[in-house]
Amino acid sequence: MLPATYVVFDLETTGLDPEKDHIIEIGAIKIKDGRVVEEMSSLVHLEQALPPAITRLTGIEPEMLKTAPPLKKVLDDFLGFISTYTLVSHNANFDIAFLNRAFGRSLPNPVLDTLELARILWPRLTSYSLESLSTELSLTPRRRHRALADAQVTVELLLALWQRTLGLPWPLLMQLNTLNLGQDNALASWLQAAARLNKDKPWEAPDEVATGKSEESPLPENGQKEPLSFEPANIAALLEPGGLIASFYPNYEYRPQQVEVLTAVAGAFAEGSCLAVEAGTGIGKSLAYLLPAIIWAKFTGKRVAVATHTINLQEQLWQKDIPRLQAVLPFKFGAALLKGRSHYLCRRKYGQWLDTMAVQSEAARRFAMRLLVWLTETETGDWDEIKLLPQEEQWRHYLAAHTETCRGEKCPWYHNGCFLMSSRRRAEASHILILNHSLLMEDAKLHNQLLPPYPYLIIDEAHHIEEVATEHLGVSCGHKELSLLVQATAQSSLLRQIELLAQRLAGEEARQLKQGLAKVLQVNAQLAETLQKLNFVLQPIFQEQTAWRLAPPLTEFAIWEEFLTAAGNLEFYLDELQNKLNDLICLTERIGALPLSHELEGIVQQARESRKNLSSILDAESEETVTWVEARPQGEWLLRAAPLLAGPMLAELIYSRKEAVILTSATLTVGGEFAYFRERSGLGNLPSERLRFLKKPSPFNYDKQVFLGVVTDLPNPGHLSDADYAAALAPALQEIITLWGKQTLILFTSHRLLQATYRLILAPLEEKGYTVLAQGIDGNRSHLLTEFCRHKKAVLLGANSFWEGVDLPGDLLSCILIPRLPFPAPNHPLTAARLEYLASRGQDPFLNLSLPQASIRLAQGFGRLIRRATDKGAIIILDKRLISRRYGKYFLSSLPIQNFYVGQLEELIARLDAWREP
């Protein structure tokens, strides 16, 4: 039984802006004693044109609104229906904003937001949309996107939320009430009612979720005590038809290529060599390297680390492959998933933050409530378990386990409950470490002092290794980092504690503390002002291009002096902030408040690190380093310095320090050769006798499964602006998409071209019943892929990250369109510097860098289409340079297909139509 009478309601509107859009339907349901007692539903008369997208979404036709009652009549009925009851809505801020606008005043009724409540009570869900929650909680399937239907689903959600709340232990409910600060609102009434009902229920305190203790013993120094052989032939036999793996894996297929990769990996471990393996899609390379890695680690007692680039692959290894092998192999082995420090919540800082809730914002308190529930569930304290809103990132940054603020063994959580130490102890007891490229690079920079020793290393998705090394072996300093420092200083719970300490003291000590605190806040405000100044200085140059080298022509512009002045001021105020914080540290130490002193030192170290990075970028003069400034999202800027050549550093910091290294990917070769990868990855810096290379093509029959077409009658995209090329491109895209009639992915190399094309094809395709989604416009990558899979006729325009890591088998994706060959932007500072370097050595920059990079990128995009042996689909390349230029054959030789079709658009569409017929 619900604790009060509620009116659950939903609105349908013509858009998202209450200032200019209109309500077109209201649906409401009254619930008393947990039962529906009354409903109301009405369309609303609309004078304006109804957007076609709203009709497709809701099924509401313009004619239906012409005869509907006027808004005033519907609002009067709604006002009588809701009386003084508590209103309930999913994403209530949206609906209440429209109602307040329509009424011309704020409604006095208390409001309970089921979206907000769901985020608190189920903190680990990936989506909180009404549809996603309906699926997750097995509610009545949502019918049409209509007001009353959505209100009915929200009623079911409200009841589920009440049951979830009643299931929380009384102490947790009381803590949540405390965080809500006892406010007289709908959430407070909800929590207080649940606490009253739960007060007398028996409750047993749970064991500490993450104790920081390992269940397994550390690896023995000299191998396993039990006899275990390491024979590649015996390991390969596990993959034979009827073998151990086949008996366990559903729908197992024996692949000779997989056995060859496994044998090569096993040989590399035994020989102590560096092996580069190109394993085509469908070979099953993860299993091919995990089996020998696990058995080698058991045989030798030495760890093997597996580093991936994408989260998708990391999750596949950790959530699927490792558990399956732990279940099927006739011996036990340990595995650990490792992430960088900032991925873990610091429990000590969280506890201190809770003490400051009285002065925190309502949004901060809601976030603290969510974390409180999460801490009763999580075993890892990994921030990736919870989906954060953009405004919550500042609190995540403050509460993360940073090196600068870690107290080590002095921390009360260190030996029992520290999430970071718990992950490290599990790693010490594990045979296999799963990490990402970033953590691999951070560990290499610290000379392998960050992670437990792992003499053997597998780098999957190794075609990214140069770019990852470039990013992590360089330094950066930007608006976001410095803004977080400013926020951490201004909103720090430490400063609040110092303020409270000063209030408890008297005399000179209190005066000095208050004065020291005021000086810190004053310098911090000047630092924030200087940040904004530098932002203002840089904005004009970002109108022309989004990245500039700190070299001519930028240094010849009048703006350069303003930039240097603002950057110099940043250095000055970072120094001043350190000085004032150090003064405050001395004061707290003198008083005896040593824990506060230690925390202040953490902020000082952050400021010191930012100052050091900023100076190293501005003062860099080495010819081996490239420095530049680039525009980031939300109008931010980032200063960067990176090594001109990352390969030699990879050889020195990683390959030469490991007993064996395996680098693998579906795309390592260019034109069938490893020469480009060998040079760029740093393998060429190793003795040739230590190197091994293997290329195994995909088992898929691409010539039967794929229609590859090249359109020849569109203009050369290299000769047109993005706007002009989009105008030429849009009609061709619409024709192909309309003919195909299924899920289509369009891969772009430029966000400007993507946006220009989106604007041109959106309305025509929507009129034909297609859902059109675009990266950077309709949501993030995860949301776009989810929405794309929901519809049978969807078009997704993606750039950058969509060229790889997209795994949509079968009908989820059956057509890929590529408007332009994916050459790297030659004006990007790092690319430009590398092109200049190659030219200075007498090498052709285009043939030795631009073309190989583009070929690998195209092969990655091609690989998105066929993910299973039963898949079938089309790839159309609309850039005629693939045929008209001599380098086109270079691209084609990097694709796993022999047959392709070339022709003008009309001819190609006819061939495509004939090909797709069964």
Q: Which residues are catalytic?
A: 145
Cβ contact 708:899 at 8 Å: yes
Cβ–Cβ contacts within 10 Å for residue 554, how many? 16
Cβ contact 298:331 at 8 Å: yes
Residues ≥6 apart with Cβ < 8 Å to 295: 228, 230, 235
Residues ≥6 apart with Cβ < 8 Å to 135: none
Compute, in degrees rounded to 10, the torsion defined by CA atoms 626, 632, 635, 638: -40
Beta strands in 678-732 (DSSP E): 691-696, 706-711
HEC sequence for 33-54: CCEEEEEEEEECCCCCCCCHHH
Q: Where are the alpha helices (DSSP H) in 17-113?
A: 52-58, 62-66, 71-82, 92-103
**Sign of the torsion formed by the C-alpha atoms of 64, 70, 73 and 77:** positive
Cβ contact 777:755 at 8 Å: yes
Q: Where are the alpha helices (DSSP H) in 741-819?
A: 751-767, 781-790
Which tokens sit at 448?
């392998």
Which tokens sit at 785?
């892929």
Cβ–Cβ contacts within 10 Å for residue 417, how many? 19
Residues ≥6 apart with Cβ < 8 Å to 104: none
* Residue with token string 């405004």: 391
> What is the SS3 assignment for 455?
coil
Q: What is the CA radius of gyration of the chain?
A: 30
Cβ contact 815:743 at 8 Å: yes
Inter-CA distances, 76 with 65, 73, 99, Å: 18, 5, 12
* Residue with token string 């209450």: 18
59 Rama sector, left if φ>0, alpha if ψ -120 to 50, beta otherwise? left
Specify the pairing of strand 6-13 against strand 547-549. unpaired
* Residue with token string 């009285």: 358
Beta strands in 644-681 (DSSP E): 660-665
Give the angle 9-13-14 at the CA atoms, nearest 5°.
175
Cβ contact 614:639 at 8 Å: yes
Amino acid identity of 833? A
Q: How many residues does the chain have?
A: 918
Inter-CA distances, 699 with 282, 807, 866, 899, Å: 6, 17, 11, 16
Give the span between the Cα atoms of 75 and 25, in whole angstroms.
11
Give the span between the Cα atoms of 30 and 113, in whole angstroms.
16
Inter-CA distances, 572 with 106, 432, 526, 576, 604, Å: 48, 46, 10, 6, 14
| DSSP calls for 165-203 | HHTS-HHHHHHHHHHTTT-SSHHHHHHHHHHHHHTTS--
Cβ contact 493:356 at 8 Å: yes
